[in-house]
Amino acid sequence: MSTNDAGVSFARDIKPLFRIVDIQHMQPLGYFLNDYAYMSDPKNNHHNAQAVYESLVGTPPRMPPGGPYWTPQQVEIYVSWMQGGYLP
């Protein structure tokens, strides 16, 4: 995990987890995976980040479409970002 005393950062730790193909595929569906303001969405109780998380860990996972799906370590980093306050 790429964390330090400052916590998990969207720019440093989360954004790189999304492949270009993931970003391009999800954008027309209304998911802006590479946009911190969209992903953190504090005005809407972080709904967008939660929706992405649910897609990552659904049964079966629905994102990225067709896989490869995130490893447990990648999901853990994402969860740490959410639990740590959605740091930029």
Domain-embedded: residue 88: no
Q: Which residues contact 44 (CB under 8 A, 6 or more apart)?
A: none
Q: How many CB atoms lie within 10 A of CB 82?
A: 17
pLDDT tens per residue, range 24-53 = 998 998 999 999 999 999 999 999 999 999
- This prediction's pTM: 0.88
Domain-embedded: residue 45: yes
Domain-embedded: residue 34: yes
What is the C-alpha separation between 42 and 64, in angstroms, rounded? Answer: 24
Torsion of CA 77, 38, 64, 84, to 10 degrees: 10
Domain-embedded: residue 5: no
What is the C-alpha separation between 88 and 11, in angstroms, rounded? Answer: 6
- Assess whether pLDDT exceeds 70 at residue 87: yes
Domain-embedded: residue 3: no
Domain-embedded: residue 26: yes
List the domain range (segments joined by +) for residue 54.
Answer: 10-83
Number of domains forming the structure of the chain? 1
SS3 87: strand
Q: Is the separation of the CB atoms in 14 and 77 below 8 Å? A: yes
Domain-embedded: residue 1: no
Domain-embedded: residue 21: yes
